[in-house]
Structures are given as structure tokens and as C-alpha cells.
Structure 1
């Protein structure tokens, strides 16, 4: 009886959240394939939303009707991999199309170079209106200041990387008492749960710029912790005791994991509602066919899988992110799954290619636009995963370590400074419970994957040095206690 009630509640929630625009069959079934003029770009970024926590990905707990419907009209990337699964490094890698050791952002709260060739600058030069709303996390802080001091300061105009419309906070995770700085560095407040007024601002931007090509970047803070701060109406949609957990959550932590997951899901469902509002306006304004709509996240969250929270780890809950790209004018309004891995530095070159813009030589990622537009696979065997410097919640003293690895369709292979560390067959072992790296019968497989890794490291100029070497090269100071480690920290944590 309780189970039936839960099902009814979930069905009602879906009905409540699903915007009316999804019922516009005529618009959805448009067969227009050659929209006029450059496409608009709407890029929606969530923070710490793992790939597995999606209805379309098979998570039966979560309520995400709008995202699930978007997936039915999009390219669905089944193996989108965060090159460094942590906030600022992902953002810098995406914005530049470069690997973190090239642009220097491999650690949070360090500055992206002002002169970088970035998404905003390129679209602005191509004649686009450019707008950014929400979390930035690319400005850093002054050397010697408290590492989090820059999170509360405005970003100077010359450091906005080509974005003109500007309602931005460097970083905050207080989603109900949130402020931002506008184009004139004036402090303004978002009213209520900031996802909703940020989305309203995005809707206003779309309406104001619908007659010209525009790039809009909407960067939400959730579902990044704190996990229990979503509005009550969304928290009430989840009964923690009924949530099914992934198979790698330790039994002793399952009650805690269910509670955390309920709060996390509440954020996700609130954001799904906001995404639906945004998509509804795109439809009503007649912009859908000639708009490239992207939804993704910068990294995942372990959420008690393997007994830990948050990110930086090389496991799938941390490195795998959702990635949807909808462009009805050239990609049709139907789901197509893309199975070959795509890496963070590949995203911007591919987006530029889809929009018909030139990819600058500074970018190291691959432009997969041609094969995607032709309906083919990427022909890309592996994506690189790296952590040049562990920090903050996964600092050395908490088990953090430097690593490099590759994620293919089927396998994960990772090295630390001592040598091969992890090897998983992700098809046979989706919860990555069985490390095959020291088993003789898998040595040939390990050697092959290690060869793929060494090739990627050579291509990206990565010598895989200890963390201190990169901190010294870029003149960075460790934050607080991040540099502290046991002398034999690698052996202790193996």
C-alpha cells in the first residue's frame, strides 16, 4: 500500500512539474533541418550532478521529467567524462578547450589567465550577444589572502572572458541567501532559492535577445552540498527510507546515504522544474529549432558510494557527468545515444563546430561536430582523467593522491605515483567493486590500457610529476593544510 502511494505521489509530481510546452506536439515534430542564421546557444551547467542520478539514465528514485523529456530529443552522451572531477579545473578546461596543466587551473580558487582564448570571447567575436548568470569560479584570489576570500568579491570586467550580460557570484553554496554582482559590480540579491530567480533572469535575457544570435551560460550552484537546503516542497517529494542505493554503498552507511540522497534529489528535482521553465520559453518564443541547448555538470558526487562523499576520486560516481545536446534544426528532435567517451576539453571545440565557428589552435580538445552531425560515433577510444593536486576534502591527509587514468566505454585504468592502481571492467562490474589491476590474467589488458594512457599523456605534455612540482611551476600556494601528508601516504592509502 505504501509503495502504491509512493508511486502515486511520484506520478503527481511528474504531472505538476512537467511544463505545458512539452505538449506542443506540432512544435516538437517540426521537420525543419536548415534553420536560418547562426544558432543561439544556451548552456546550462549544474554543479556536482552525477551522471547516474537521472531518470533517463535508469535511476528510478529521482523525479526529473523535464530533463528526461529533453533527453528524448537530444544527443545523449553515455560516457561524458570530467577531465578533473572538481569545480574550477573543469570550468577552465571547458572554457578554453585545454587540459588543466596547459591553462594552469588544476586546483580550486586559482585564476584563469585574463588573456585566455575562451568561449565568451569567441562567440562575442562572431557577433553573438553573450550572457553569464550564476556561479563563475574562475577568478581566484590574491596571493597570500585567505583561499576563499575571492569568492565574495566581484569579478573585474576585464576578467569576465568575453561575457557582457553579467549576474555572477564567484562561488556560494548558500542557495537561499544568495547574492551576485552585476555588470557595474553592484551587489544584488536573488530572492528565495537562487536557482529559480537565476532561471527567471535567463528567461528575460532570452526574450530580450531573441532577434539576434546569443550565447547564454546559466550556471547553477546545486545539487552541490549542502544537501538539505532545497525548498521544502521538493524535499517533501522524497522519503529517504524508500530510496534504493547503488550497490557499492557500505551497509553501515546506508541510512546516512539515504538521507543525503533524499536532499540531493530534492535539489535535482527543483532544478528540473527550472529547466522546464527555461525550455518552455525557448519553445514559446519560436527559438527551439535554431538553438543549441546543452545541459551538463562539472563533475559528480560519490554520495556514500565506497563510503565517501563528493568528488576528485577516479570512480564513476565522481568522474561521469550527464551531457545532453539538443539542436532540432540539424540533429532532429529524437534521442540518439553516443557511446564513445567525450572529455571536458572536447566540449567547446565540438560546440564551436556545431555552430559553424572556427576552432582556434589554442584548443587541445577534439572537434567531434562533423561526426555528430553525420549521425556517426566519435571514434574516440578513451577519455583522460587526472588529478595533478588533491586538495580540500580529499587532501593528502584524507587519502588524496595524484593520479592519471583513462576511461573507455568498457574499462577504467588508473595509475598513481607508485604505478598501476585501479583496473575495472565497468560492464561486468558497474559498481567498481573488483580491482583487477594485480590479477595476472588481466595483465595484458592492463598493459593495453596503460598504453592508451601513456599516449594521452604524451599528447598533452603531461609528465605526471608529484603535486609539488606543478604548484611550484605555477607559483601557487597550498590552501590551509592541503600540503600536509604522511611520508608514505601512497602506501598507507593503497
Structure 2
């Protein structure tokens, strides 16, 4: 093998795939991410393995599925000793620099086992040995004494931020601090003689709600170019009770179409800001002559409804494309063959760590379930026959409800619905094969969507006999998947 490549993960929080201009969104402005297509590959059909932060990150930072290690809620992070790809890379000679969000390792763990340095975006110094840090706030007032009876309160909408709001020490400000830390590191690294290869994990906080952005991005989005949104879930049949419960409580239809369009435009402005921040990192790599030696992965942990189905935010056990179809753009180091393009190959975030292993020669100390993307980068349009996402709980798992949010919380519509012991928050597994998406639901009616005929997932065809054979095939494939990936044998032999 030639020189080991540097690796960068540049990660968004809650960015949907169709928010990118090169994915056909006429109102989107993402020139830096679009330009990667001159040298890399963008995956139109990449899927996260869970539609909320912690389970998704515990999956893509291991190469394991959420059910393999039991990660299905944002309140329970990795256990001590669980597989973690950052630690694997550190133990195999890479300098691992972790910048930004956590949502993987509990706050009372130091990060010294996982990385060589950790920068949270708020403090300038390395924080890897700090076991308790101040939680990120949003950087502006959200709840408190607000009138929850006003239509649109639960929209998470803020709108235009001032420069002061955008750069103070909350989530927005931490993103700028994270980018500064990444630029500083690249500059320092370029001056080291005989430096080890690096794994730079930069994980930003936006475009996660609340939906707010400063100029020039806020004013740059042409509201007249916004694509049509998916209609209210309350007007549809066959959609899951979790979605209808949230839609009833958020009541965004009463807020009005004009307001929802402002939210959608602000979200795209946040995406455009993320694009600009990525451009800064890319340009610094080029300036420091590290670009050709670096494989860059740009992706998001999950997506966002952004008023599709008249819902804001996300949900733990629903698998519509706005929340599970995520951006995935890969610019490989120059040593790897690449046919630049947008590919339709099915892919998963669980594939990332195996791809890096294939690029670097690193082998994990555990079995992982991803598949390397190198063949797709080189030109193949065939990768996986099926992709999966999963979430929810069984009845009685009260600790998975994430209780504790009253009506003053913006998250009350979702979290109060999660507390129901009806079918709303219960287990479900999604499989996509070709253009068909099947969702098995443990306690309520399953779903089936023909994405070629119904790309907005409005018409649940689960009871259509014309799809009966396809459903049986997908159920069989899902069973194979669950049996194959259901657990891991410990990598030790204990004394009895």
C-alpha cells in the first residue's frame, strides 16, 4: 500500500439529502458541496440507521446497527469498552482529532481513549481529559414564559440571527469555533515533519433546529423557488400514529403556509452556511498541500421533516426520506480510483468505517457490518441489495420515553407522544430494496411505498395485492438482516 491517506469526517446534524442543490433543490445554494462532484461521488440513496442523533452516531462510529448494541434513544450513549471507530483509528497509528458534538460517549467519560485531542468549539484548549463540560445551549432564548397557545410555537422557528447571536457560545457559535479549530489544526499539521496520518472528525451542530441563520445566508434563499412540501399527515391514510400525534400537537397548519415556507427557507440558509464552512476547510487543505492526500466524507447523522407532512424536527421510529435519506459525499485521496458523479447505488452510513478500513489498511478489533464503498467510487453502480433503518421501543420500556419535557419545551409534541403506551413510539424496521420501501411495525399497520410512483411517500400500498410477492421478499431479507446482525460475540475468552 502507498502512503496512508488522511481521513476527514465533516458531519452535519439533521441535514436531509434533498437540501443540496445538486440533488435538485432549486432553492438550495451549496456551491462547495456541488463542486466535490468534480473529484468525488455523491450518493443519492444513502440512508442513516436511525433517524435521531445518538443511535445514528453510535452506528456510524462503529459499523454496527443500532439493535446490535441496543442503542435506540438519545439518553443512553455507549457503554465503556464498546467498539468505537475513533479509538480503533487511534490505536492503529492515526492522530485522531475530535472537534464538535459528542452524542456518543457519556459526559462523565474522558475522551482520552478515543482521540489525541478534543475541541468543543467553545473553548480554545484541548478538552479530551475533561469529563464534564457545559452542555451546548442554542445561543438564544427559546422557551421560558412563551405562550404555548400561539399557533406555530412548536415550529422551532427563530428566523434571522444577528451576528452576535450567530457567534455566541451556543450551538451556532460552537460551529464557527469548530471550524476555526479545524483550520488551526490543518495549518499546524502541515508544518510537522514526518507527521502521522490524521483522522479529523469535525461534527457540527447545524442545521439542527431551532431554525435560525444570520446573513448573508439568511437573505440569500429565494423563497419563490422552494419545492412543494409534502401535505399534512392528517390528510393522509395509512401513516403511523407517531406522525399524526406530533402533527396534531405542533399544529403547524394553523401557523400557515407562508410561515412554513419561511422556516423551510431558513433551514436551507443553515445548509448553505454549512456548505460555506466546508469550503473553508477544503480550501485550507489545498493551501496546506494536504488535499490530494486526504479522503473526505461529508454526511449527516439524519435528516429533518422541515414542515413536510406539516411536521418540524424529527422522530425516532419513522422512516420517510426527509429523515433517513441523508447526504453522503466522498472525495477520496488521489491514490484511489474515482469516477466523479451522483450515484444511485444504495448505501448506508454503517458503510463508512469499512470504507476507511479499506483505504487505510486498518482492521477493526471487532466484526462490523458495513461494506466498503471503494467499488462505487471507482464507478460501480451496484453496492447493496438492501438498506435498513430502525427505531422505537417495546411496551414497558419507560426509560426509553425520554420523559421530563412540559408544554413549555419545543420538544413537547414529540416527547409527550413518545410517552404514550399506544403504538406511537413502538418498534419498527425499514428496508429499502430497489424503489420499494417496506416498514415493519411491531404494534400497528406496516407501510409500503413505491418510491418511483410515489416519491413523497403519500400512498401506503401495504394492502395492495399487486405488491404481495415483493413484500414477502423484503420480509425474508429483513429476517436475514436481523439474524446476521443481532449481536456480537465478546472479543475475549473469560475464565470460568
When residues 119 and 377 of structure 1 are mapped into structure 2, their CA distance, relative to the original with a 3 A threshold, is same
Q: Distance between the aligned counterparts of 1:373 and 1:272, measured in 2? A: 22
Aligned residue number for residue 32 of structure 2: 66
When residues 288 and 196 of structure 1 are mapped into structure 2, their CA distance, relative to the original with a 3 A threshold, is same
Give the counterpart of 1:382 among 361, 380, 386. 386
Q: Give the drift of 1:131.
A: 0.4
Q: Distance between the aligned counterparts of 2:42 and 2:364, measured in 1? A: 23
Aligned residue number for residue 245 of structure 1: 228
Aligned residue number for residue 431 of structure 1: 456
Q: Give the drift of 1:412.
A: 0.5
Q: Distance between the aligned counterparts of 2:266 and 2:82, measured in 1? A: 37
Give the counterpart of 2:344 among 336, 339, 347. 339
Q: Distance between the aligned counterparts of 1:294 and 1:234, measured in 2? A: 23
Does residue 209 of the first structure (1) align with residue 162 of the second (2)?
no
Q: Give the drift of 1:316.
A: 0.6
Q: How does 1:40-439 map to 2 (within 5 A)?
A: 40-140=6-106, 155-157=108-110, 159=111, 161-168=113-120, 182-185=127-130, 191-192=167-168, 193-210=173-190, 211-228=195-212, 230-240=213-223, 243-248=226-231, 252=253, 253-312=256-315, 313-331=318-336, 335-363=340-368, 365-372=369-376, 374-389=378-393, 391=401, 393=414, 395-397=418-420, 399-418=424-443, 421-439=446-464
Q: Distance between the aligned counterparts of 2:310 and 2:125, measured in 1? A: 35
Q: Distance between the aligned counterparts of 1:328 and 1:461, measured in 2? A: 34
SS state at 2:313 partner: coil
Aligned residue number for residue 494 of structure 2: none
Give the counterpart of 2:468 among 434, 440, 443. 443
When residues 231 and 446 of structure 1 are mapped into structure 2, their CA distance, relative to the original with a 3 A threshold, is same
SS state at 1:281 partner: helix
When residues 345 and 333 of structure 1 are mapped into structure 2, their CA distance, relative to the original with a 3 A threshold, is closer
* Contact map agreement 2:117 2:126 (CA 8 A) in 1: no
Return the structure number with greater relative CO, CA threshold 8 A, min gap 6.
2
Q: Give the drift of 1:420.
A: 5.4
SS state at 1:268 partner: helix
SS state at 1:206 partner: helix
Aligned residue number for residue 39 of structure 1: 5
When residues 81 and 165 of structure 1 are mapped into structure 2, their CA distance, relative to the original with a 3 A threshold, is same
When residues 72 and 411 of structure 1 are mapped into structure 2, their CA distance, relative to the original with a 3 A threshold, is farther
* Contact map agreement 2:112 2:128 (CA 8 A) in 1: no
Q: Which moved more, 1:78-87 or 1:112-121?
A: 112-121
SS state at 1:97 partner: coil
Q: Give the drift of 1:265.
A: 1.3
Q: TM-score, normalised by structure 2?
A: 0.75
Q: Give the drift of 1:307.
A: 2.0
Q: Distance between the aligned counterparts of 1:161 and 1:345, measured in 2? A: 22
Q: Give the drift of 1:416.
A: 0.7
Does residue 460 of the first structure (1) align with residue 460 of the second (2)?
no
Structure 2, unaligned runs of 5 or more: 137-165, 236-252, 394-399, 403-413, 488-496
Q: Distance between the aligned counterparts of 2:340 and 2:378, measured in 1? A: 14
Structure 1, unaligned runs of 5 or more: 1-33, 141-153, 170-176, 463-494
Q: Give the drift of 1:203.
A: 1.0
Q: Distance between the aligned counterparts of 2:456 and 2:28, measured in 1? A: 19
Q: Give the drift of 1:424.
A: 0.7
Deviations 1:44-103 (A, max 9, x none): 110000011000100011111111111332121121111111100011111111111222
Q: Give the drift of 1:257.
A: 2.3
Q: Which moved more, 1:312-321 or 1:401-410?
A: 401-410
Q: TM-score, normalised by structure 1?
A: 0.75
* Contact map agreement 2:97 2:116 (CA 8 A) in 1: yes
* Contact map agreement 1:129 1:209 (CA 8 A) in 2: no
Q: How does 1:467-486 map to 2 (within 5 A)?
A: none
Q: Distance between the aligned counterparts of 1:249 and 1:278, measured in 2? A: 39
* Contact map agreement 1:368 1:378 (CA 8 A) in 2: no
